[in-house]
């Protein structure tokens, strides 16, 4: 694990050791973490190190969206306010009854590449939620937490105008094809979110997966997803079949996905959303 200092007061683990990236903002009187990753010992170590180094306490954990690789470390922040969008909380409650039921969790830990990363895992839900937007102010530092949808309907980003950083969760997969096949994924909301990110005065973008980036990488993904959506819309209007549309869209050049099946499932989901309009 490498704790990377992005800029004064902003830190992240974005080397993949926690699966989903984990970020931390040091404010004048407190520390705020964003997403809790999927490696309990490493996230605990990150929190302890930062608190020791700064002499400040962690008070908030902000959750960008519902996926396990971003929330399984929540128990490390049990004593903090844990905040997500209402939609994310609803999905977490649903998952607790299905794929995160206690017997499923036991099985998941057993089958994990390194079971020690998830030993003792319990699902910890948000303690507070918001519909579309909330703000945290500490001295002269402001944190804006806003829901856009895209990767999931509850997907929300954290924007700090003071530190000129934006933490996007899985609306950004840098240098990788994104996972866009979640049930509530929406390519049009995703495009709108990326345009919003680019409109802000930001120096550093912290993705859900991949390295910390600048505007060029966001633009690269926006160009790709816009091309894919435009082509799908055009072919849908021409009455082409789903198979023809996926095949043609698949030819647009972009980074390969981490898991081979991700690309087709993502394109199918995007097609389904666009075709249902
Ligand atoms: Zn995700």
- Asked whether residue 231 is assigned to any structural domain, the reply reads no
- Please report, for residues 7, 47, 77, 83, the alpha-carbon distance to residue 55 in angstroms, rounded to integers and kept in the order given: 18, 12, 17, 23
Cβ(56)–Cβ(28) below 8 Å: no
Residues in Cβ contact with 120 at an 8 Å cutoff, skipping those fewer than 6 apart: 40, 75
242 CA to middle of ligand 1, Å?
25
Q: How many separate domains does the chain show?
A: 1
Give the DSSP H/E element, type plus range, for residue 204: strand 204-209
Whole-number Å distance, alpha carbon 162 to ligand 1 midpoint, is: 27
Does any domain span residue 227? no
Nearest residue to 169 via CA among 125, 201, 218, 206? 206
CA distance 72 to 25: 20
* CATH number for 135: 3.60.15.10
Taking the centre of ligand 1 as the mean of its atom positions, its distance from the CA of residue 169, in whole angstroms, is: 7
Residue 264 falls within a domain, yes or no? Answer: no
Q: Which residues are registered as beta bridge partners of 205?
A: 166, 213
Q: What is the extent of the structural domain holding 190? A: 4-215
Residue 146 lies in a domain: yes
Predicted local distance difference test score (pLDDT) of residue 17: 95
pTM (two decimals): 0.96
- Domain-embedded: residue 62: yes
In a domain, 232, yes or no: no
Provide the CA 6 distance to its chain's centre, in angstroms.
Answer: 18
Query: How far apart are the CA of 55 and the centre of ligand 1, in A?
Result: 32
pLDDT recorded at residue 224: 98
Per-residue pLDDT tens digits for 46-102:
999 999 999 999 999 999 999 999 999 999 999 999 999 999 999 999 999 999 999
Residue 67 lies in a domain: yes
Look at residue 69 in the predicted model and tell me its pLDDT.
96
For residues 5 and 190, is the Cβ–Cβ distance under 8 A? no
| CA of residue 240 to ligand 1 center, whole Å | 30
pLDDT on residue 277: 86
Residues with CB under 5 A from ligand 1 (ion): 67, 170
pLDDT in tens, 168-221: 999 999 999 999 999 999 999 999 999 999 999 999 999 999 999 999 999 999
């Amino acid at each position: 694990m490498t704790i990377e200092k992005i800029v004064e007061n902003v830190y992240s683990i974005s080397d993949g050791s926690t699966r989903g990236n984990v970020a931390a903002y040091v404010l004048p009187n407190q520390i705020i973490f964003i997403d809790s990753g999927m490696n309990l010992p490493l996230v605990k170590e990150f929190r302890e190190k930062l608190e020791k180094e700064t002499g400040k306490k962690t008070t908030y954990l902000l959750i960008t969206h519902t996926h396990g690789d971003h929330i399984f470390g929540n128990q490390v922040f049990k004593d903090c306010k844990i905040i997500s969008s209402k939609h994310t909380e609803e999905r977490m409650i649903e998952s607790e009854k299905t794929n995160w039921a206690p017997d499923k969790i036991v099985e998941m830990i057993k089958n994990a590449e390194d079971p020690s990363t998830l030993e003792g895992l319990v699902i910890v839900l948000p303690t507070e939620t918001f519909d579309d937007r909330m703000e945290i102010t500490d001295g002269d530092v402001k944190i804006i937490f806003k829901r856009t949808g895209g990767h999931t309907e509850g997907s929300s980003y954290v924007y700090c105008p003071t530190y000129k950083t934006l933490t996007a969760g899985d609306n950004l997969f840098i240098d990788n094809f994104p996972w866009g096949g979640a049930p509530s994924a929406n390519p049009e909301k995703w495009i709108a979110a990326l345009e919003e990110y680019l409109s802000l005065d930001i120096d550093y973008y912290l993705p859900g997966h991949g390295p910390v980036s600048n505007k060029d990488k966001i633009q690269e993904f926006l160009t790709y997803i816009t091309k894919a959506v435009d082509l799908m819309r055009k072919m849908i209007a021409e009455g082409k079949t789903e198979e023809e549309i996926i095949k043609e869209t698949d030819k647009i050049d972009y980074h390969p996905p981490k898991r081979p099946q991700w690309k087709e499932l993502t394109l199918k989901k995007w097609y389904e959303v666009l075709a249902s309009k």
